Structure 1
Amino acid sequence: MQFKQETGLVLEGKIALVTGGTKGIGKAIAQRLRISGATVVVTARRKPEETDEGVHFIAADLSDVVAVDPLVTSVKEQFGGLDILINNLGANTAPAGGFSALSDKDWDNVLQVNLLAAVRLDRAFLPGMIEAGGGVIIHVSSTSGMFPLWDTTMAYSAAKAALNAYSKSLATEVAPKGVRVVTVSPGLNKTGAMSSFLEGLATSAGISTEEMTQNLLQRVGGVPLGRMADPAETAEVVNFLVSPAASYLTGTNVAVDGGNFPVV
């Protein structure tokens, strides 16, 4: 999906880090921020075969606590610090099947990736933002954090719910110091990870991926817009939230779900 891009470089001079920034939503966010003029750094466990022009890559496995300090040091040495931190890293890595299928290791892995990686990076970069008098942190959560499915997303949903609560409390703490913190909760996005997730569920259920996709859409109450999001659509929302146009937004959770979430 292509958008008519704004000609104004509203993020010119800003330094942004996007975790999990080489695929899916993270890659789309990195591309969009670069178009808006930001200097963009992305991190993931492995360098992709191709990187977008103007996007800087630093390898880091943020599920491992020891990987955080080298990443932070590298960013500070190369770029001086951050103006924008996009905690996009996330994955539903736990097996399906409900409580009895989840080991302590499964729970720990999900919490490390979906909650604690963001907590550690916030703790590392917030002092610099506060000293500079401003900054923006985005936590990419999921509508799963408000709509758990016991048999497929139990641990993932619990971790994202924790991220939502943490993000809200952090926003309240640092708002007087000039730093905005906003949560973005995507619904179903048409990414490679989502395709793999659906294929795995379909194989387990003995049905086609198309049937499983429809089953999932029905299970979460349907999507009024009738389709999954393109990651570029989610990236547009993030681009707005980190821009000066969103200067009065903090502490909120923005659902980008095509009308799916069935509450007021």
Structure 2
Amino acid sequence: MPMNLEFSGKRILVTAGTKGVGKAVVGLFSELGAKILTTARVQPSETRADVFVAADLTTVEGCATVAEAVQRHFGGVDIVVHVVGGSTAPGGGFAALGEEEWQHELNLNLLPAVRLDRALLPGMLAQGAGAIIHVTSIQRELPLPQSTTGYAAAKAALSTYSKSLSKEVSPQGVRVVRVAPGWIETEASVALAERLALQAGTDYEGGKKIIMDSLGGIPLGRPSTPLEVANLIVFLASSQASAITGTEYVIDGGTVPTV
């Protein structure tokens, strides 16, 4: 049976859609005929989205701006893909994380999804259909205590929130699915590998090995690409995945060592 990944006329919000996975998701949806609104703090020189909204999603005001833009431009939404996330917390374990660092991790990795879902879900429920994809992380079950405790805890909260939300809204036609990537070779991770390589006196491949070793190894032997993660997200948002809700799909090259 051929795959039908047609999104013609579908109204889609993709957060953090100008770089990395978000940019790849926007590109795929665009190729498949969707109407896309995306957002980031800074407007890119070019985007394949139909509408771009500059907003800081770590704030209540930024989320409200995006939700209002969705209603104004599209009159509602059919699919929401929450990609926004990351961490700028310092290394040094729990002692390095003060109130400001903890609040920032929650404001970036949990609350944008909560706020935008709260604003957009009533319309999705009224139409009796929709899909929400939350991008979590394998860090929720494989935290690195020296550097990702706050990020991992926020992503764990996002995963639990997503599961609860799916149980509430799936009976009314709105699916909620999680995608948990491992290490992805984005612009930021390339810069990190290059920095580690310079510090260790090695090349880029050596820098990548340092990162893979810190994760306990990646059986596949390499990180995922943004496009590989985007392919999974787009499939899960499609009608081909219409019976999938409430679960989490890991795409990590085998990094998580347990069942």
Give the TM-score taking structure 1 as reference length: 0.92
Q: 1:60-92, CA deviations, whole angstroms, 9 ceiling, x for partnerless residues? A: 110011112222111101110110000100011
Which residue identity does 1:108 align to in structure 2? Q
SS of residue matched to 1:227: coil
User: What corresponds to 2:126 in structure 1?
Assistant: 131
Contact 2:83 2:134 in 1 (8 A): yes
Q: What is the distance in 1 between the residues matched to 2:100 and 2:187?
A: 25
Structure 1: gaps (5+ residues) = 1-5
Given the alignment, which residue of 2, 7, 10 partners 1:11?
Answer: 7
User: What corresponds to 1:3 in structure 2?
Assistant: none
Contact 2:5 2:238 in 1 (8 A): no
The answer to whether structure 1 residue 43 and structure 2 residue 45 are counterparts is no
User: What corresponds to 2:181 in structure 1?
Assistant: 186
User: What corresponds to 2:245 in structure 1?
Assistant: 250
Q: What is the distance in 1 between the residues matched to 2:29 and 2:119?
A: 22
SS of residue matched to 1:120: helix
Given the alignment, which residue of 140, 157, 182 partners 1:162?
Answer: 157
User: What corresponds to 1:63 in structure 2?
Assistant: 58
Q: What is the distance in 1 between the residues matched to 2:208 and 2:96?
A: 23
Give the TM-score taking structure 2 as reference length: 0.94
The answer to which of 83-92 and 209-218 deviates more is 209-218
User: What corresponds to 1:85 in structure 2?
Assistant: 80
Sequence identity (%): 46
Contact 2:5 2:235 in 1 (8 A): no
Q: CA RMSD in A?
A: 1.8
Give the C-alpha shift of residue 196 in structure 1.
Answer: 3.2
Q: What is the distance in 2 between the residues matched to 1:140 and 1:9?
A: 20
After superposition, the Cα gap between the structure-2 partners of 1:7 and 1:248, relative to the gap in structure 1 and judged at 3 Å, is: closer
Give the C-alpha shift of residue 42 in structure 1.
Answer: 0.7
The answer to whether structure 1 residue 20 and structure 2 residue 21 are counterparts is no
Contact 2:196 2:210 in 1 (8 A): no
Which residue identity does 1:10 align to in structure 2? E
Contact 1:201 1:212 in 2 (8 A): yes
Number of matched pairs? 257
Q: What is the distance in 2 between the residues matched to 1:50 and 1:97?
A: 38
After superposition, the Cα gap between the structure-2 partners of 1:223 and 1:215, relative to the gap in structure 1 and judged at 3 Å, is: same
